[in-house]
């Protein structure tokens, strides 16, 4: 049985922890709002990009398509880009992404494909290192970056495209967490090379475009940019998801701490009462003995 | 009064501008062009340079872009910029840093093709800097 002093100390320490988790929850809430705004602001560009891409690719026949779109024609070496957060304390956020990545890689390996991995975010590397440490060809950490900018995504895209042009892989898949709501983030895999081209919608302008310099050159320029945009979107969704998961996790932690404090306080009061009763009995029985 | 059309300037990070304008001057890869309402559908690359937007009442505003695409249709013009800022908000140090980066790229270029590309980009950037400096 812990003494009264022990209990007092426990209560004080749990209270301190609760204060920390509460603060972390509030910080995550504020950051979540900012991340959501950033994701929101990036949407128009991606949408317009899709529309333009659909228009241009409709006017280019399969044979003229740049390799980034058509692929290498092979399916032997897969590159998996795993995007996670750089920090933990976000519930199952990182492990869910890692689980999907693991399943995806195992499936590819079972089919006899060669797999290479690039991890974005420290936690992804930490979680995959044990199983696939040798397959990781590069890791990128965005810990220093406060607000993810397009330049970060562009750097990753350049690296991936450079590897593709060097013939290092045939198919590239991006694994990240799609932000559905504050309490729900869905780990998602998305193929970015060969690029899946959005189909032109039925109500598209149907106008015959003139191209400057020409459609092929524009498309060759557009596809790498689109890959950067996809990565950018994944990073932003991840950032929002991380904050959402962190908020939920910290909310739970705060609530658990509250429950614990209640329980400890009740035990503390009972023991104090018991001790008082014991002392009273000692006094009374002492008085009666006289 | 000239007819207006919708002009949208979007960078990956945000939507900078979306409004009715009378004309827009954009630095296309094949030369500067002025877009007005009911322009024939054109899709063009953009090189680093200054965009001038003229609103109704000949009120002007200028933006700096670093490459991108323009999608022009008779009823609107959408400009997807790699990165774009208002001229008055432009950070000169940032521009200088970009130029330095490209210069390093020119030095480090391995084959002829990438070197030519980087040199071209460097030329465009320095022209841009020259055009903006007196401002």
**What are the beta bridge partners of residue A178?**
A186
Per-residue pLDDT averaged across B3-12, rounded?
Answer: 88
Two tokens at A262? 């209640």
Domains and CATH numbers, chain B: 5-87 (2.60.15.10), 92-132 (no CATH)
pTM (2 d.p.): 0.83
Q: Is the peptide bond before A194 cis (omega within 30 degrees of 0)?
A: yes
Predicted local confidence at residue A202, as pLDDT: 45
Q: Please give the Cα distance from B122 to B124 (Å, whole number).
A: 5
| Chain centre to alpha carbon of residue B54 | 15
Q: Which residues of B touch A217 (CB under 8 A)?
A: 45
Per-residue pLDDT averaged across B101-109, rounded?
Answer: 78
Domains and CATH numbers, chain A: 4-23+250-289 (1.10.287.80), 38-249 (3.40.1380.10)
Choose from A12-16, A119-123, A230-234 the range with maximum mean pLDDT: A12-16
Answer whether A144's CB lies under 8 Å from A52's CB: no
ipTM of the shown complex: 0.73
> For the ranges A58-62, A75-79, A184-188, B128-132, which has the lowest average pLDDT?
A58-62
**What are the beta bridge partners of residue B9?**
B17, B79
Numbered residues of chain A with Cβ closer than 8 Å to any chain B Cβ: 38, 41-42, 44-45, 48-49, 51-52, 55-56, 149-150, 153, 205, 207-213, 215, 217-218, 221-222, 225, 228-229, 232
In angstroms, the Cα distances linking A126 to A130, A250, B135 are 8, 22, 51
Q: What is the pLDDT of residues A141-181, one digit of tens each?
A: 887 777 788 888 888 998 998 898 888 888 999 999 988 88
Q: Please indicate if any CB of chain A lies within 8 Å of the CB of B105.
A: no
CB neighbour list of residue A125: distance below 8 Å, 6 or more residues apart: A119, A136, A139
Q: Given phi > 0 = left and psi -120 to 50 = alpha, else beta, which region is A204?
A: beta
Per-residue pLDDT averaged across B82-90, rounded?
Answer: 79
Beta B49-55 vs B59-65: how paired, if at all?
A: antiparallel
Per the listing, tokens 């509030």 go with A26
Q: Which residues of A touch B12 (CB under 8 A)?
A: 42, 45, 150, 153, 228-229, 232
Predicted local confidence at residue A22, as pLDDT: 95
Predicted local confidence at residue B121, as pLDDT: 78
Grade residue A31 by pLDDT with cuts at 50, 70 and 90.
Answer: very high
Q: Given phi > 0 = left and psi -120 to 50 = alpha, else beta, which region is A281?
A: alpha
> For the ranges A34-38, A66-70, A198-202, which has the lowest average pLDDT?
A198-202
Answer whether A251's CB lies under 8 Å from B108's CB: no
Two tokens at B35? 């877009």
CB–CB contact A45 B29 (8 Å)? no
| pLDDT higher than 90, residue A249 | yes
Predicted local confidence at residue A203, as pLDDT: 45
Q: What is the pLDDT of residues A123-145, one digit of tens each?
A: 989 999 888 888 989 888 887 77
CB–CB contact B12 A229 (8 Å)? yes
């Amino acid at each position: 049985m812990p003494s009264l002093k022990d209990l007092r100390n426990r209560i004080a320490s749990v209270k301190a922890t609760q204060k920390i988790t509460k603060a972390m929850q509030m910080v995550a809430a504020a950051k979540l709002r900012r991340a959501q705004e950033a994701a929101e602001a990036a949407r128009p560009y991606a949408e317009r990009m899709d529309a333009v891409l659909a228009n241009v690719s409709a006017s280019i026949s399969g044979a003229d398509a740049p390799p980034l779109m058509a692929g290498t024609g092979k399916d032997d070496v897969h590159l998996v880009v795993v995007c996670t957060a750089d920090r933990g304390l976000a519930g199952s956020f990182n492990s869910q992404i890692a689980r999907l990545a693991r399943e995806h890689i195992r499936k590819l390996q079972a089919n006899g494909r060669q797999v290479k991995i690039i991890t974005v975010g420290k936690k992804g590397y930490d979680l995959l290192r044990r199983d696939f440490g040798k397959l990781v060809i590069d890791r990128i950490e965005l810990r220093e970056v406060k607000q993810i900018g397009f330049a970060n995504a562009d750097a990753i895209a350049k690296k991936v495209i450079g590897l593709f042009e060097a013939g290092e892989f045939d198919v590239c898949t991006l694994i990240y967490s799609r932000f559905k709501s504050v309490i729900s983030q869905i780990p998602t895999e998305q193929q970015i090379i060969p690029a899946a081209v959005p189909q032109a919608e039925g109500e598209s302008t149907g106008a015959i475009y003139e191209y400057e310099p020409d459609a092929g050159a524009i498309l060759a320029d557009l596809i790498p940019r689109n890959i950067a945009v996809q990565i950018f979107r994944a990073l932003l969704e991840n950032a929002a998801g991380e904050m959402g998961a962190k908020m939920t996790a910290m909310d739970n932690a705060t609530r658990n701490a509250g429950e614990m404090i209640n329980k400890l306080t009740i035990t503390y009061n009972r023991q104090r009462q018991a001790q008082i009763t014991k002392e009273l009995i000692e006094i009374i029985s002492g008085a009666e003995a006289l | 009064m000239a007819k207006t059309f919708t002009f949208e300037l979007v960078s990956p990070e945000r939507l900078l501008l979306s409004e009715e304008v009378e004309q827009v001057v954009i630095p296309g890869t094949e030369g500067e062009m002025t877009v007005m309402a009911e322009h024939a559908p054109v899709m063009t690359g953009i090189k680093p340079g200054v965009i001038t937007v003229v609103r109704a009442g000949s009120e002007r505003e200028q933006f700096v872009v670093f490459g991108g695409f323009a999608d022009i249709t008779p009823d609107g013009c959408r400009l997807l910029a790699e990165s774009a800022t208002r001229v008055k908000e432009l950070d000169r140090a940032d521009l200088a840093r970009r130029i330095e980066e490209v210069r390093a790229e020119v030095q480090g270029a391995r084959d002829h093709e990438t070197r030519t590309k980087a040199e071209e980009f460097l030329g465009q950037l320095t022209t841009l800097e020259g055009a903006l400096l007196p401002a």
